[in-house]
Each structure stands twice: as C-alpha cells, then as structure tokens.
C-alpha cells in the first residue's frame, strides 16, 4: 500500500512541476525579450496579456508582437474614421483624412510583415530576404504612425490630443514589434534558438 501512495505522490509532484515549468516558459521569454525593447513595460504588458497562440520561441514572439501592433492599428483606424466622419472643422477633417490613410497603410504593412513571419524559410538567403522585407514593412508602418500626427501641427484641442494618444500607443507597440523582428533576425542560427 505504501508503494502505490509514493507513486501517486510522485506523479502529482511531477505534474505540478511540469505545469509550473511550462506555464512560466512564455512569461520568461516575454520578460527576457522585452527587457531592452523601446518600451519595455508596454512590451511586457501587451505580450503577457496576449490571448493568441502560446509563445514558445522568438518567431512566435515576433508574430505576437506584430499581431498586437496590427490589432491596435486596426482599432485606431476605426476610431479615426468615426471622428473624421463627424468632424465639422475643415482643417481638422483634412488632418483626419490623411491620418486615416496613413493608418490604413500601416495596417497593410503590418499585415505583410505578419505574412512573412508566418512563412519564414530555412535557407539563409531566403530568410535574409524575408527578414529584410519584414523589417522594411514594420519600419514603414512606424513611419506612417508618426506621419499621421504631422497634419495636426498648429492645431489645438481635444481631437488633436485624442489622436496623439491613439497614435502614440500604436507607434510604441509597433516600435516594440520592430525590435522583436530585429531580435529574431539577430538570434537566427544560435544553438539556443533552434525553433525560430
């Protein structure tokens, strides 16, 4: 009777250890990867609450970062379009029209970036080309996010303040996504990161 109890307890302890270990793996990669991101606390917060597929490696981390950025950009695009459609002041409406166009470009570029990250090739030459494209598109998305605010120069008021808050958050999560893409590129081929 003592032997079955020991086996039972051993099985429970093993199950707890496996659960704890696998549960912290995603958290560990998030914290260690976000440490040097442009906006580390935002990086940890957005990736820790990410509800998509489990993050187990740098490739999945980069994909999750881009998905988060894409989701924020899409949300802001809808908000900007709604404000644009209700805007009466011509100067602010023109700035919002430009901003909606910029965020649409950003959404397209982030979608392209995600597409590349989902289908990375093993060959060094193809991987290098794909990473260059992903970095270029993510950088362009970041530029679009920043350019949106240019149309509001010389304007004051609630609309400018609100748009600035929205675009700043999109730009920050996009900056963090670009950082994760760059980290994926830099770590390729290192023995500890076999499962890019």
pLDDT for the residue 2: 59
- The reported pTM is 0.81
Instruction: Return the closest-CA partner of residue 109 out of 71, 148, 70.
Output: 70
* CATH code linked to domain 25-188: 1.20.140.40
pLDDT single digits (tens) 166-192: 999 999 999 999 999 999 888 763 433
Alpha-carbon distance of 129 to 112, in angstroms, equals: 14
Alpha-carbon distance of 155 to 91, in angstroms, equals: 8
Q: Which of 63-72, 75-84, 141-150 has the lowest mean pLDDT?
A: 141-150
Q: 125: exposed, middle or buried (C-beta count within 10 Å: 0-12, 13-18, 19+)?
A: exposed
CA torsion angle for 114, 119, 123, 124 (degrees, to 10)?
A: 0
pLDDT single digits (tens) 5-50: 554 444 444 443 433 333 455 568 899 999 999 999 999 999 999 8
User: Where does the chain show beta strands of DSSP type E?
Assistant: none
Alpha-carbon distance of 149 to 131, in angstroms, equals: 28
Alpha-carbon distance of 192 to 40, in angstroms, equals: 23
Give the percent of the chain with pLDDT over 90.
Answer: 63
Confidence bin at 122 (pLDDT 50/70/90)? confident
Assess contact for 51 and 92: CB atoms under 8 A.
Answer: no
Give the start-to-end residue ranges of the domains of the chain: 25-188
């Amino acid at each position: 009777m003592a032997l079955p109890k020991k086996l039972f307890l051993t099985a429970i302890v093993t199950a707890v250890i496996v659960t704890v270990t696998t549960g912290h793996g995603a958290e560990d990669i998030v914290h260690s990867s976000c440490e040097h991101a442009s906006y580390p606390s935002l990086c940890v917060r957005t990736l820790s609450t990410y509800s998509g597929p489990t993050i187990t490696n740098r490739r999945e981390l980069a994909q999750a970062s881009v998905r988060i950025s894409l989701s924020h950009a899409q949300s802001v695009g809808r908000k900007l379009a709604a404000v644009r459609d209700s805007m009466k002041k011509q100067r602010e409406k023109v700035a919002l029209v430009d901003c909606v166009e910029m965020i649409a470009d950003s959404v397209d570029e982030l979608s392209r970036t995600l597409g590349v990250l989902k289908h990375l090739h093993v060959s060094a030459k193809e991987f290098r080309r794909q990473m260059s494209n992903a970095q270029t598109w993510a950088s362009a998305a970041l530029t679009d996010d920043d350019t949106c605010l240019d149309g509001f120069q010389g304007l004051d008021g609630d609309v400018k303040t609100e748009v600035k808050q929205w675009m700043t958050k999109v730009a920050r999560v996009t900056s963090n996504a670009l950082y994760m893409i760059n980290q994926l590129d830099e770590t390729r081929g290192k023995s500890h990161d076999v499962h890019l």
